[in-house]
Amino acid sequence: MQTEYAAAPPQWVSLSRTTGYREGMPKTPPLDVLFEDNHLLVINKPVGLPTQGVVEGATSVVTAAKDYLKQKYKKPGNVYLGVVSRLDASVSGVLVLARTSKAAARLNEQFRERTAKKTYWAVVERPPDPPAGELTDWLKKDEKLQRMAVVSRHTIGAQKAKLTYRTLNKQPLGCLIEVELETGRKHQIRVQLAHLGCPILGDRKYGSRRKLPAGIALHAHTLEINHPVSKEVLRLVAPPPKSLATYAKAD
């Protein structure tokens, strides 16, 4: 059995920490909850909010989610949250957190075994040619430029990166494509699309000529997982932000 979950009205949480958002973004953003039970918390992450690992006193998904759970359930002390997948701060979309260590272990196994299915939407500067296809590259970090790069498969330390894509909608200002990851390398979608000649709008690090008000035009649209306890198939859908919504009408 498969159940689909999409966004409900955002749940507001009062954040006492200093925001980690970029200039112009709200100081106390809503936590956009897609799914919640005793084992999972799934949100639609906004652009500009890092998943975790921020300096002390700054807001991340983890700190905001812990505050949300503390306030909603009146929990004293520490709240457990396991991070089983991450999104770059500049990327929006569906993000799952585990509320128990058992759930975290079982979800980690799904991501490790690649049974979790992730689909992204990206707006690129030009339509890809062909309009649908498969990309297989080898990636390695360029330490000098501090970014990932496509290298020869024989390069020491290179990791295989594979994805499939298809064009959803073409407009004069950009082309909306859907991407399904088969591997999960750092900045994989960003670097592979740039290597194809189709940089993501706003992604100046990987060759985009255009700047967006915040973040880049990359959104984690759907995530399909097996519930770690009930084993029910969950299809979690995160509506795109306004910056992508104008492109989000498939032909």
- In this structure, whether the domain defined by 2-239 belongs to CATH 3.40.1370.10 is answered with no
Among 50, 43, 41, CA closest to 19: 50
Could you state, in order of their start, the residue ranges of all structural domains in the chain?
A: 2-239
Pairing of strands 218-226, 159-171: unpaired
**Maximum distance among all alpha carbons in the chain?**
55
Q: How high is the pLDDT of residue 251? A: 46
The rounded distance, in Å, linking the Cα atoms of 121 and 35 is: 20
Residue 12 has pLDDT above 90, yes or no: no
Q: How high is the pLDDT of residue 15? A: 33
Residues 61/53, Cβ–Cβ less than 8 Å: no
Catalytic residue among 37, 88, 129, 251: 88
Pick the residue with more confidence: 64 or 53? 64
Q: Mean pLDDT over all residues of the chain?
A: 87
Pick the residue with more confidence: 15 or 53? 53
Mean pLDDT to the nearest integer, 6-30 = 42
The rounded distance, in Å, linking the Cα atoms of 70 and 38 is: 13
pLDDT band at 27; cut points 50, 70, 90 = very low
Q: How high is the pLDDT of residue 10? A: 44
The rounded distance, in Å, linking the Cα atoms of 231 and 214 is: 37
pTM summary value: 0.86
Q: How high is the pLDDT of residue 152? A: 97
Which tens digit of pLDDT belongs to each residue from 67-124?
999 989 888 888 999 999 899 999 999 999 999 999 999 999 999 999 999 999 999 9
Mean pLDDT to the nearest integer, 185-208 = 96
Residue 88 known to be catalytic: yes
Q: Residue 205 carries which side chain, given as an amino acid letter?
A: K
Pairing of strands 33-36, 218-226: unpaired
Q: How high is the pLDDT of residue 171? A: 87
- CA–centroid distance for 73 within its chain: 27
Residues 224/116, Cβ–Cβ less than 8 Å: yes
